[in-house]
Amino acid sequence: MADLVDSVGQLLREVAATVVLPSFQHLAEADVEEKAPGEVVTVADRQSEAMIADGLRALLPGSLVVGEEGVAADPAVLDLLRDPGPVWVVDPIDGTGNYAAGHGPFALMAALVRGGAPVAAWILDPLAGTLAVAEAGSGTYVDGVRASLPGDAVRPLRGAAMSRFLPADLKARIRRGLTSIDEVLPGLHCAGREYIDIVTGAQDFVLFWRTLPWDHVPGMLLVQEAGGAVRRLDGGRYDLTADGFGLLAAANDATWRRVHDTLLS
């Protein structure tokens, strides 16, 4: 497994170097299109996903790939997550809105799933050069250094709530709760970077409404393997094969409960 972990990390770096970064801040108008209201996709997203998918299949023959752009083209691809595995979950450029606008952060993300459960995960922030990897039962590493989140000691809370897609009543409720948070961050519009920032201690929590697997499966494993908590807003586990909304990631269980009680009580 160690060889596979290293190989996938190298694959993401190669795709970033050959596809994603060369197009960054050099996209023509025709290279960007709206695939849903307020959501864009670029030629680099599609090229990145194709190259990552080919590389992952070569590394693990017989494996399946569920990528964001593949599902956008054919929603039935999402059903592959129910396969007993191995299945790769891929976000070729997380934070495409940032990328298309010519600024960061954005990330390349992948996770390996077996039997509906993630067993390995990778998030690469190519602008920062940061690669975070996790293997179930073996911990999380950021640029080769093991990440270990603080225990349940009480400290000032610093984090963000992604409010764009929240229902109006819940948005108002959470905004009221945020007034009791010590430091509210604006949000990065890049789930991959938010998860890295939790793992590295740059922030304590982040709340999301939409929970698409390519956005959250890699980060969930990273946070959990570092000692953090990622759960649905009702406290249930995040099942990547089930539909649903609302996800809260935090540096530890006590922080998860504090944030949940502050924002949703």
* Domain harbouring 210, CATH code: 3.40.190.80
Last residue of a domain, one of 147, 180, 200: 147
Distance from C-alpha of 46 to C-alpha of 57, rounded to nearest angstrom: 17
Residue 15 placed within a domain: yes
Residue 153 placed within a domain: no
Residues 7 and 105 in one domain: yes
Residue 232 placed within a domain: yes
Total domains, the chain: 2
pLDDT of residue 153: 63
Last residue of a domain, one of 147, 175, 205: 147
Point out the annotated binding site for Mg(2+): 68, 91, 93-94, 215
Residues 104 and 10 in one domain: yes
Distance from C-alpha of 49 to C-alpha of 68, rounded to nearest angstrom: 8
Q: Are strands 87-94 and 39-42 parallel, antiparallel or unpaired?
A: unpaired
Point out the annotated binding site: 68, 91, 93-94, 215
pLDDT of residue 150: 80
Residues 136 and 175 in one domain: no
Q: Which amino acid is at 252?
A: N
Residues 124 and 218 in one domain: no
Task: Dump the DSSP string for 141-181.
Answer: EETTEEE----S-----EEEE--TTS-HHHHHHHHHHHTTS
Q: Which domain holds residue 94?
A: 2-147
Residues 203 and 119 in one domain: no
Residues 32 and 116 in one domain: yes
Residue 192 placed within a domain: yes
Residues 135 and 187 in one domain: no
Contacts of 34 (CB under 8 A, 6+ apart): 40, 41
- In order along its 265 residues, the chain shows pLDDT tens digits of 779 999 999 999 999 999 999 999 999 999 999 988 888 999 999 999 999 999 999 999 999 999 999 999 999 999 999 999 899 999 999 999 999 999 999 999 999 999 999 999 999 999 999 999 999 999 999 999 999 888 766 689 999 999 888 999 999 999 999 999 999 999 999 999 999 999 999 999 999 999 999 999 999 999 999 999 999 999 999 999 888 999 999 999 999 999 999 999 8
Residues 196 and 131 in one domain: no
Contacts of 75 (CB under 8 A, 6+ apart): none
Residue 152 placed within a domain: no
pLDDT of residue 1: 76
